[in-house]
Amino acid sequence: MLIKELHDHYGSWSKLMRTLDLGSSTYQGWVRKGFIPYTTQLYIEKKTGGLFVASEEHSKSSGARF
């Protein structure tokens, strides 16, 4: 999953982080790195009931920028 698809779905980073029970510094870290770590993607996949699917390919900095 990509940062952009999460942001687009939730409309704002604050709503995104509240809904997923994550801190704002977590989102800032994703943007700084350019990707969401795979273990976090697995958490998001479970938390959203599969609405967003974890992808090892998108957990690397190449091609996964916001």
Domain contains 29: yes
User: Contact at 8 Å (CB) between 26 and 17?
Assistant: yes
Helix-helix angle 13-20:38-47, to 10 degrees? 80
Give Cα separations from 64 to 10, 13, 21, 57, 60 (angstroms): 18, 17, 23, 8, 7
User: Contact at 8 Å (CB) between 19 and 59?
Assistant: no
Q: What is the pLDDT of residue 40?
A: 95
Domain count, the chain: 1
Q: What is the CATH number of the domain that holds 55?
A: 1.10.260.40
Domain contains 33: yes
Q: What is the pLDDT of residue 60?
A: 78
Q: What is the pLDDT of residue 62?
A: 47
Q: What is the pLDDT of residue 65?
A: 46
User: Contact at 8 Å (CB) between 66 and 7?
Assistant: yes
Domain that holds residue 17: 3-59
Q: What is the pLDDT of residue 61?
A: 56
pLDDT averaged per 10 residues in sequence order, the chain, 66 residues: 94 93 91 94 96 91 47
